[in-house]
Structure 1
Amino acid sequence: MTELAKLALSDGTVFTGRRFGAEGEHFGEVVFNTSMTGYQEILTDPSYNGQIVTMTYPMIGNYGVNRDDVERDRLALKGFVVKELCREPSSYRMTMTLDDYLRENGVIGIEGVDTRALVRRIRSDGAMTGVLSTIDLDDQSLIQKAQQSPHLVGQDLVKEVMPGANTEWNDGLHEISQSEFTPQASTETCDKSYHVVAVDYGMKWNIPRHLKEMGCRVTIVPGNATAEEILALEPDGVFLSNGPGDPRPLLYAVEAIRGLLGKKPVFGICLGQQLLGMALGGEIYKLKFGHRGANQPVLNKETGRVEITSQNHGFALDINTMPEGTEITHINLNDQTIEGIRHRDLKAFGVQYHPEASAGPHDSAYLFGEFRKMMAN
């Protein structure tokens, strides 16, 4: 007998479907991702900590799960919502089904949901708190739980996913990725082995893979590392990673970045760019429903070219608060929000999207080369 599952939103809407993956009950901010593929990378992205992720593509799980396409060693998201789960996947790389993978990692999945209706509601009313349950199937009880659940805004979700100690990274890009990777970023290695300290706020593993592929030595440090601790490692450059949630509570990270600016080249991605922007004096606001998917168009203002990018964020820098000396280098073509910044005098830049892709297009891989050039000059 097929088990039921329910997703209740804080606005009183309830969606009923069929359970897959783990049993239980979890709350989180309900968001959506527009990618057609790459569900394994999405599931293992720590930036989804505290969220219930809805996939807009109608069938998910058709190529199963494998050992290589992971961005972290555990799943941080709180639930997974799909229209239809493929129960007979096929791929020569597959090691298990998506159903088994979620069950093994304790994540609840729900299928049979009208995901178009759910996404339209989020687009109309904004991302909201929800409860996904296989044990409580009473609508009113679930609605009350959703309304009483803590909101993602104001929480420090980074401390739940960042590492506990410094580590050296030794893994390069996987062979299957290299064959598709942008040549200018993968074949032009460093003239010398630059040392990059990567500050891990919930970093996707494909980022240090790219840095390693350029010939750089990569040391990963926890997101709460101080400027003094980072500088003591004698880096040639500092990388600020992606991560989950609201950047505004992360004052310890902002303070550390301020202590690095002007002393070492700095490159930030996603949450890392937001924290860099805050360190420069900019302000943050929450987007209505965020940008999540592998098909987001971004204008590079310096070249005039449009890049199709992979994104996952619910907050953005306020373009009206960026201080003098900061240039806006990239703009989102859907809503004109900031997608890239650079300081004119300090060796510091960042982008809101994910040039490491995984999954997604490789239009923006050149940015790792830009970081290398900044360390060389």
Structure 2
Amino acid sequence: MSLNPRKKAILALSDGTVVHGRAIGHDGITGGELCFNTSMTGYQEIFTDPSYFGQLMMMTYPHIGNYGTQPRDDEARKVMVAGVICRAFSDEYSNPMADRSLQEYLEDNEITGISGVDTRMLVRHIREQGVMNAVISSTELDEKKLVEMAKNWDDMEGLELATKVTRSEAQTVNGKDEFRVAAFDYGIKQNIINNLNKRGCTLRIFPAKTSADEIKEWEADGYFFSNGPGDPTATAEYALEAVNYAKSTGKPMFGICLGHQLMALSEGLKTTKMFVGHRGANQPVKNLATGLVEISTQNHGFAVDEDSLDEKIADVTHINLNDGTIEGLKFKNFPGFSVQYHPEASPGPHDSAYLFDQFIDMMKEQK
């Protein structure tokens, strides 16, 4: 059931900026780090991406909800964003494959949102001032209270969130069983699992906090470290046990996003919080080995610190052409590589899907 379109809602930023709009989704109050995504499609995949856990997602494409939702587009078991912000929200949808509207989907997942706001203005504001916390409310409409609430919201820096989105116990997901891959779930996306399955991998997916002894029993041909939310240095406090064990086996290793950062941290490199993160389906990345440019999907607010790079530890394989940040590493002390962006992107682009083949080729060579 849709909310009254005239119902008021407020978005309050921690720097005192306040905008008014109309309520969408679940009636209530929510908050988190305000970020934006520039993708034109794929809002359901974005909302269910565990890497966005605890964040308010602002879509820069103005028309959201027009093709509804369907279970096949979920990247996780539930919606992961803390709230939704958009310019124009559609209660009706035209996709014959959809099973419900985005309004119903947000209500069912108890996600509060706001529409009818000037997202272009807000994006410019964040680009100039840097990422900050915010609160969305359709119940409490006192601006001063909401701004104060945003100021007191937990900062993403130093926050450990992977344990909030990981599975509770290890799970085997069968492929053709040509390769046995130990995958670590810090917020693993369904399409990563799909990409490895269709390439002949049977996965044993382990929770974020798993001991080396339990990993050892699986006798994997390779190790995969997934994407996930939060500060990588906080996750590293427990996750490096698994990374270091995988390194000791001499088997191929592949990391995406948070997994990329954890592999770098395990080698003594550092990560840093970005002024404004990369989030969208149109980020240009240059492959330094081939010289080709890939259009990539990205979702990260932290990056490997270029100043900490040591040529004895790793070579940079990919860079972001917008700001020159590190997008890929090939490690020298163990057979592993990692990327900051998302080669499994759903709905796309798929320029970087070859990275999964690269991982498979490494396991083939070892077998």
Fold match, TM over 0.5? yes
Partners of 1:222 and 1:202 in 2: CA distance: 9
- Which residue pairs with 2:335 in the alignment? 347
Q: Of residues 191, 194, 197 in structure 2, which corresponds to 1:209?
A: 194
Q: Of residues 340, 343, 360 in structure 2, which corresponds to 1:372?
A: 360
- Which residue pairs with 1:22 in the alignment? 26
- Which residue pairs with 1:225 in the alignment? 210
1:259 aligns with 2:245: yes
Corresponding residue SS for 1:68: helix
Partners of 2:33 and 2:333 in 1: CA distance: 38
Structure 1 residue 266: Cα displacement = 0.9
The amino acid across from 2:355 in the alignment is L
Partners of 1:279 and 1:285 in 2: CA distance: 15
- Which residue pairs with 1:93 in the alignment? 97
RMSD between aligned residues? 1.2
Partners of 1:132 and 1:254 in 2: CA distance: 36
Is the Cα contact below 8 Å between 2:297 and 2:342 reproduced in 1? yes
Q: Residues 153-168 of structure 1: matches in 2 within 5 Å? A: 153-168=157-172
Partners of 1:227 and 1:297 in 2: CA distance: 37
1:144 aligns with 2:148: yes
Partners of 2:243 and 2:224 in 1: CA distance: 10
Partners of 1:34 and 1:149 in 2: CA distance: 25
Partners of 1:37 and 1:104 in 2: CA distance: 21
Partners of 2:347 and 2:261 in 1: CA distance: 22
The amino acid across from 1:121 in the alignment is H
Is the Cα contact below 8 Å between 1:241 and 1:271 reproduced in 2? yes
Structure 1 residue 82: Cα displacement = 0.3
- Which residue pairs with 1:184 in the alignment? none
The amino acid across from 1:229 in the alignment is E
- Which residue pairs with 1:3 in the alignment? 7
Identity of aligned residues (%): 48
Q: Of residues 229, 235, 238 in structure 1, which corresponds to 2:220?
A: 235
The amino acid across from 2:194 in the alignment is R
Structure 1 residue 345: Cα displacement = 4.0
Partners of 2:204 and 2:63 in 1: CA distance: 39
Partners of 1:280 and 1:322 in 2: CA distance: 10
Partners of 2:313 and 2:149 in 1: CA distance: 47
Partners of 1:224 and 1:374 in 2: CA distance: 26
1:330 aligns with 2:318: yes
Deviates more, 1:36-45 or 1:256-265: 256-265
- Which residue pairs with 2:114 in the alignment? 110
The amino acid across from 1:200 in the alignment is D
Q: Residues 238-317 of structure 1: matches in 2 within 5 Å? A: 238-250=223-235, 251-263=237-249, 264-317=251-304
Corresponding residue SS for 1:154: coil
Partners of 1:360 and 1:296 in 2: CA distance: 12
Structure 1 residue 227: Cα displacement = 2.7
Structure 1 residue 333: Cα displacement = 0.4
Corresponding residue SS for 1:106: coil
Structure 1 residue 262: Cα displacement = 4.0
Q: Of residues 124, 127, 135 in structure 2, which corresponds to 1:123?
A: 127
Listed one character per residue, the Cα deviations across residues 27-79 of structure 1 (whole Å, up to 9, x for unaligned) are: 10000000000000001101111100000001111111012111011112110
Corresponding residue SS for 1:259: helix
Is the Cα contact below 8 Å between 1:227 and 1:257 reproduced in 2? no
The amino acid across from 1:142 in the alignment is L
Partners of 2:30 and 2:95 in 1: CA distance: 31
Partners of 1:295 and 1:227 in 2: CA distance: 38
Corresponding residue SS for 1:356: coil
Is the Cα contact below 8 Å between 2:29 and 2:137 reproduced in 1? yes
Corresponding residue SS for 1:314: strand
Partners of 2:114 and 2:192 in 1: CA distance: 30
Is the Cα contact below 8 Å between 1:59 and 1:84 reproduced in 2? yes
Partners of 1:163 and 1:88 in 2: CA distance: 34
Corresponding residue SS for 1:327: strand
The amino acid across from 1:150 in the alignment is D
Structure 1 residue 288: Cα displacement = 0.8
Is the Cα contact below 8 Å between 1:32 and 1:119 reproduced in 2? yes
Is the Cα contact below 8 Å between 1:238 and 1:265 reproduced in 2? yes
The amino acid across from 1:285 in the alignment is T
Is the Cα contact below 8 Å between 2:27 and 2:139 reproduced in 1? yes
Question: Structure 1: any 5+ residue segments left out of the alignment?
Answer: 173-189
- Which residue pairs with 1:75 in the alignment? 79
Structure 1 residue 258: Cα displacement = 1.6
Is the Cα contact below 8 Å between 1:262 and 1:347 reproduced in 2? no
- Which residue pairs with 1:181 in the alignment? none
Corresponding residue SS for 2:36: strand
